[in-house]
């Protein structure tokens, strides 16, 4: 995931995104690629604790150079089932709600690719499954490619294609 996101450089080989080799981009170009074309849903740390849900989404939009319109922010949170948390701070949300707000932030930049690294890894199994369903559905609705990493086989089954990484080798499941 770090290689795809341009956070790490491979020793050799290439990583193509729309014909551009990410492995050859400098840090600035990688940062631009991430903020403009990728949405990232991290396992933790995605929300600023002193901003409300809607302020966090507006923050992500500003970061991506997208105009932060109140109507769009509310619609985004509503689609993810967390509109009632718009004016709440992360400390007032459940883990599942916080992940949904992170997804709203990732979608806010209108990305072409969403990278989710064990995004539901810290949730209880039922909430994790429900949250992953929402992430998958929203990605399909927005026509965004979703690439997620999970250690949970049931989660992997929600994807159209899945791969297993064993002993540094990637195989189609």
The contact set with another protein (CB under 8 A) reads 2, 5, 7, 27, 31, 34, 40, 42, 45-52, 55, 59, 62-63, 87, 89, 91
- Minimum distance from CB of 16 to another protein (Å)? 20
Measured from the CB atom, the residue of 74 and 162 that comes closer to another protein is: 74
Helices of type H across 18-170: 27-37, 53-63, 70-79, 95-108, 125-141, 153-156
Residue 135 near residue 103, CB atoms below 8 Å: yes
Paired residues of 148 in beta bridges? 116
CB of 123 to another protein, least distance (A): 17
* Residue 85 DSSP symbol: G
Q: Whose Cβ is closer to another protein: residue 17's or residue 89's?
A: 89
Shortest reach from residue 154's CB to another protein, in Å:
25
| Nearer CB in complex with another protein: 42/81 | 42
Report yes or no: 83 and 77 within 8 Å, Cβ to Cβ: yes
Say if residues 30 and 6 touch (Cβ distance below 8 Å). yes
Smaller CB separation from another protein, 19 or 45: 45
Minimum distance from residue 55 beta carbon to another protein (Å): 6
**C-alpha atoms less than 13 angstroms from C-alpha of 161 in its C-beta half-sphere:** 7
């Amino acid at each position: 995931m770090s290689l795809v996101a341009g956070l790490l450089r491979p020793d050799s080989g290439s990583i193509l995104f729309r014909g551009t080799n990410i492995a050859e981009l400098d840090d600035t170009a990688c940062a631009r690629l991430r903020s403009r074309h990728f949405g990232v849903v991290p396992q933790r740390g995605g929300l600023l604790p002193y901003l409300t849900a809607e302020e966090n989404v507006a923050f992500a939009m500003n970061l991506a150079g997208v105009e932060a319109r109140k109507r769009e922010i509310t619609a985004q949170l509503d689609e993810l089932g967390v509109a009632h948390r718009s004016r709440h701070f992360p400390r007032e949300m459940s883990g599942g709600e916080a992940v949904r707000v992170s997804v709203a932030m990732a979608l806010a930049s209108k990305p072409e690719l969403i990278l989710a690294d064990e995004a539901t890894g810290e949730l209880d199994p039922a909430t994790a499954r429900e949250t992953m369903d929402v992430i998958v559905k929203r990605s399909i609705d927005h026509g965004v490619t979703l690439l997620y990493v999970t250690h949970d086989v049931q989660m992997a089954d929600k994807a159209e294609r899945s791969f297993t990484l064993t002993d540094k080798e990637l195989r189609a499941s």
